[in-house]
């Protein structure tokens, strides 16, 4: 076995980051027939999906920011102004995004992350299942990953 010496560096380097991302993408594509089949197709790219709720003055009352990729909707942010909570606006935002993802983009599933003080119970009521729990992320808070099959 050959022993080698390496110099390790810790500075932020965008050029190396991009090179690393490209090489990881190539390695993953070579190893996975599913990812290989996606190369060069529209399904390979993430497409933004945003849903906004504006009140009668045009102010932001709530919104959902996410993206679709392959057959998945990933909800990144879902927020409703405190004045409008409890009126079903969050459910409407989520249902609209799910409907667009399924009907217009062919998505079969949704995934999202939330913290224990945010909305895990809300998502469970919307038909989501907890698939991962990470305690102390960040310290004192539990993070949940939830998924849902779109029917």
Alpha helices (H) along the chain:
14-31, 33-38, 89-105, 120-125
Residue 60 confidence (pLDDT): 98
> Rounded to an integer, what distance in angstroms lies between the CA atom of residue 88 and that of residue 94?
10
> Rounded to an integer, what distance in angstroms lies between the CA atom of residue 52 and that of residue 68?
17
| Average model confidence (pLDDT) across the chain | 95
H or E segment to which residue 149 belongs: strand 143-149
Residue 133 confidence (pLDDT): 98
* pLDDT band for position 88 (cuts 50, 70, 90): very high
> Rounded to an integer, what distance in angstroms lies between the CA atom of residue 44 and that of residue 37?
9
pLDDT, mean of residues 73-97: 97
Q: How would you class 49 by CB atoms within 10 Å of its CB: exposed for 0-12, middle for 13-18, buried for 19 or more?
A: buried
pLDDT digit string, tens, across residues 23-81: 999 999 999 998 888 888 877 889 999 999 999 999 999 999 999 999 999 999 999 99
Residue 40 confidence (pLDDT): 85
């Amino acid at each position: 076995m050959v022993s080698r010496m390496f110099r390790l560096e810790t500075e932020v380097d965008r050029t190396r980051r991009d090179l690393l991302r490209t090489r990881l993408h190539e390695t993953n594509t070579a190893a996975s027939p599913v990812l290989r089949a996606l190369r060069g197709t529209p399904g390979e790219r993430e497409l933004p999906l945003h849903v906004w709720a504006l009140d009668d003055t045009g102010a932001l009352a709530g919104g959902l920011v996410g993206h679709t990729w392959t057959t998945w909707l990933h909800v990144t942010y879902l927020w409703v102004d405190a004045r409008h909570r409890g009126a079903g606006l969050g459910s409407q935002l989520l249902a609209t995004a799910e409907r667009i993802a399924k009907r217009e983009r062919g998505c079969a599933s949704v995934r999202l992350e939330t913290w224990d003080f945010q909305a895990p119970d809300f998502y469970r009521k919307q038909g989501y299942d907890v698939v991962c729990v990470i305690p102390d992320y960040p310290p004192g808070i539990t993070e949940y990953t939830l998924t849902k099959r779109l029917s």
